[in-house]
Amino acid sequence: MSGTLRVANGSPAAAATRPSHGRLLLRDAEPGDRRPAGVLLREALTPQLADAVFGLGSPGASRYLERLFQRPGTLWSYDITTLAELDGEVVGLVSHAPWAVLAERRRSTLWGYWRAYGLRGLLKLIPRIRALMRASPAVPPDHWFIPCLAVAPEHRGNGVAHALLQTVYRHAEAHAPACSLYVPTSNGTAREFYDRAGYVERGGADSELLHRLAGVSGRVRFERTLTAGRST
């Protein structure tokens, strides 16, 4: 499977998710969503890690992530992304696809990096990407994977992340035995969130270079078993 992959179908979430501020809508992302998506992708990685790797050491990761988001067929593309909108404002994002499909996107992602950064920027980016990969534990090939999940800080704690995860599970349960994702080892808040959401830690990996660049020693893989018809 390659090329454009649409895994999300826009659907309204329960109005009770945020009753005092209107109705939450989940929908497929489009290239024109690049600006809010760039901000949320930076949040998903954590600003510290995103700026060290994709910002090339400066707080400019969002603009590069916007460009990667616009290109179909990469690991950061709109075509594997679901957005959460509240009263017309994008407040959350989740990207998700079968791990095997994401693995097939590595070459097109490299091409996307070249287009986004140019040759000089790409030469600076490659060692940072390698450090990030070394800090990424192995994922079983039959798993569904969530590269990014983020909610705008002012909208956290209101069920947006829960609604985004539910749309992932609806797509994944018919195709994979489990769902995996990465969390920086130092992000205690995210680790607690996924623990409450039914995920289990399945090991971590470290990178000395990533620690020097971003102060992040590595990442932990979390896994949640999927059962058809199950909800959290």
- Which residues face 85 on adjacent strands? 25, 90
Over residues 151-170, the mean pLDDT reads: 95
Region 87-101 average pLDDT: 96
Asked whether 13 and 26 are in contact (CB, 8 A), the reply is yes
Residue 15: the pLDDT is 33
Residue 178 pairs with which residues in a beta bridge?
Answer: 225
- Is residue 127 assigned to a domain? yes
Whether 10 is in a domain gets the answer no
Is 189 strand, coil or helix? helix
Phi-psi region of 138 (alpha: psi -120 to 50; beta: other; left: phi over 0): beta
Q: Give the span between the Cα atoms of 107 and 164, in whole angstroms.
A: 28
DSSP of 90-108 = EEEEEEEEEHHHHHHTHHH
Mean pLDDT of 140-153: 97
Residue 9 maps to a domain: no
Condensed to tens digits (0 to 9), the pLDDT of residues 195-215 reads: 999 999 999 999 998 888 888
**Does residue 116 belong to any structural domain of this protein?**
yes
Residue 230 lies in a domain: no
Q: Which residues, at least 6 apart from 48, have a Cβ–Cβ distance to it below 8 Å?
A: 214, 215, 216
* pLDDT higher than threshold 60 for residue 9: no
The range of the structural domain enclosing residue 179 comes to 21-225
Question: What CATH number does residue 38 fall under?
Answer: 3.40.630.30
Q: Which residue has the tokens 């994008």?
A: 90
Q: Residue 163 domain-assigned?
A: yes
Q: Is the pLDDT of residue 218 over 50?
A: yes
**Residue 26 clears pLDDT 90, i.e. is over it:** yes
Rounded to an integer, the average pLDDT of 126-144 is 95
Q: Mean of the per-residue pLDDT values for the chain? A: 89
What is the rounded radius of gyration, in angstroms, for the C-alpha atoms of the chain?
17
Q: Is residue 13 over pLDDT 50?
A: no
Q: What is the distance between the terminal CA atoms of the chain, rounded to a whole angstrom?
A: 29
Q: What gap in Å lies between CA 108 and CA 179, rounded to an integer?
A: 24
**Residue 78 belongs to some domain of the structure:** yes
Question: Using one digit for the tens of pLDDT, what is the confidence trace for 51-77?
Answer: 999 999 988 899 999 999 999 999 999
**E strand or H helix at 43, and its extent?**
helix 34-45
Count of the separate structural domains present in the chain: 1
